[in-house]
């Protein structure tokens, strides 16, 4: 049976503000989960879950296992390009968020979906792959790396179109994905994206040669996530 989840589109929002909002929901769900352990099944509170879409002003984020030196610029230059930087508590290395990029933050209880973390990440990837299919862009997974990629078998041509980095505790998730739609790719020149020095980054706009209807892409992605996860909003 399809699982109901709350959906919010926060539009353009400061990274720290969105992070704090995620943390608040995440903490509430962890508290419910802990309390449910001591209650009989019929008295347990169901965790509805949230899927959040948003965009951020220019920002670089470094995951807990990431290398600081994958940020290739100093603080003064960050100010010059109107960007901020945060070290955060998700998995993965460094990535960039900015306008024209769909950032997705699912805060869900994986046990409601009978998912382990690895399959959850695969489902996020599949949702992006199916969305790109709708626009005639063939994408795939890359062995040994998370995210969604193009031309994975062509050395020197492999490029990432969606980065994924998540945190999970007691099967509650936070953080998520960053999907390049109309993203200014110049900002990736200042980092080793996700720690890779031999792979590129791309966007739907770059692949298709023109800006895409951002709202349309979001709507399609939302429907693909609903299908892949068997959820409804």
CA 222 centroid distance within chain: 13
**CATH code, 101:** 3.30.930.10
**Count of all residues that appear for the chain in the document:** 233
| CA-based torsion, 187, 190, 191, 193: positive or negative | positive
pLDDT at 129: 98
Stretch 185-213: mean pLDDT:
84
pLDDT at 18: 97
CA 117 centroid distance within chain: 14
Contact call for residues 123 and 229 (beta carbons, < 8 A):
yes
Higher pLDDT, 66 or 224: 224
pLDDT tens per residue, range 4-26: 999 999 999 999 999 999 999 99
Active-site residue (options: 161, 194, 201, 220): 194
pLDDT tens per residue, range 117-156: 999 999 999 999 999 999 999 999 999 899 999 999 998 8
Give how many domains the chain has, as a whole number: 1
pLDDT at 198: 62
Stretch 78-105: mean pLDDT:
88
Q: Which regions of 82-207 does DSSP assign to beta strands (E)?
A: 84-87, 94-97, 101-107, 140-142, 145-150, 159-169, 172-180, 200-201
194 is catalytic: yes
pLDDT at 77: 83
Q: Residue 134: helix, strand or coil by DSSP?
A: coil
Q: Residue 84: helix, strand or coil by DSSP?
A: strand
Specify the pTM: 0.93
Quote the tokens at residue 64. 């807990």
Stretch 72-89: mean pLDDT:
84
Stretch 34-57: mean pLDDT:
94
Domain span at 158? 3-232
């Amino acid at each position: 049976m399809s699982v109901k989840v709350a959906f919010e589109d926060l539009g353009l929002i400061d990274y720290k503000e969105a992070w704090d909002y995620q943390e608040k929901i995440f903490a509430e769900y962890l508290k419910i989960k802990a309390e449910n352990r001591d209650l009989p099944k019929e008295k347990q509170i169901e965790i509805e879950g949230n899927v959040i879409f948003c965009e951020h002003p220019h920002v670089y984020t470094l995951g807990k296992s990431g290398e600081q030196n994958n940020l290739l610029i100093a603080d003064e230059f960050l100010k010059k390009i109107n960007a901020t930087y945060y070290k955060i508590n998700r998995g993965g290395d460094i990535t960039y968020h900015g306008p024209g990029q769909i950032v997705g933050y699912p805060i869900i209880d994986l046990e409601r979906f009978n998912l382990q973390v690895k399959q959850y990440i695969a489902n996020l990837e599949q949702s992006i792959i199916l969305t790109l299919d709708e626009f005639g862009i063939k994408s795939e997974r890359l062995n040994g790396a998370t995210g969604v990629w193009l031309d994975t078998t062509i050395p020197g041509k492999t490029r990432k179109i969606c980065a994924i980095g998540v945190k999970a505790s007691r099967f509650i998730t936070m953080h998520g994905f960053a999907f390049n739609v109309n993203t200014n790719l110049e900002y990736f020149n200042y980092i080793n994206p996700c720690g890779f020095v031999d792979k590129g980054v791309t966007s739907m706009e770059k692949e298709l040669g023109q800006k895409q209807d951002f709202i349309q892409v979001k709507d399609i992605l939302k429907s693909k996530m609903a299908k892949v996860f068997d959820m409804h909003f």
